[in-house]
Amino acid sequence: ARIGVDVGGTNTDLILETTERD
């Protein structure tokens, strides 16, 4: 979820983290 960190921050990172693993 590194892209999430670059794009939005921790909040986006958490969302991407969930989507990637889901």
- Quick: pLDDT tens for 1-22: 565 555 555 555 666 666 655 4
**Measured between alpha carbons, how far is 8 from 15 in angstroms, rounded to an integer?**
10
pLDDT for residue 15: 63
pLDDT for residue 18: 62
pLDDT for residue 4: 55
pLDDT for residue 5: 56
**Measured between alpha carbons, how far is 3 from 12 in angstroms, rounded to an integer?**
9
Kindly tell me the number of DSSP H helices and DSSP E strands found in the chain.
2, 0
pLDDT for residue 14: 63
pLDDT for residue 21: 57
Report the run of H or E that residue 8 belongs to, with start and end.
Answer: none
> pTM of the full predicted structure?
0.15
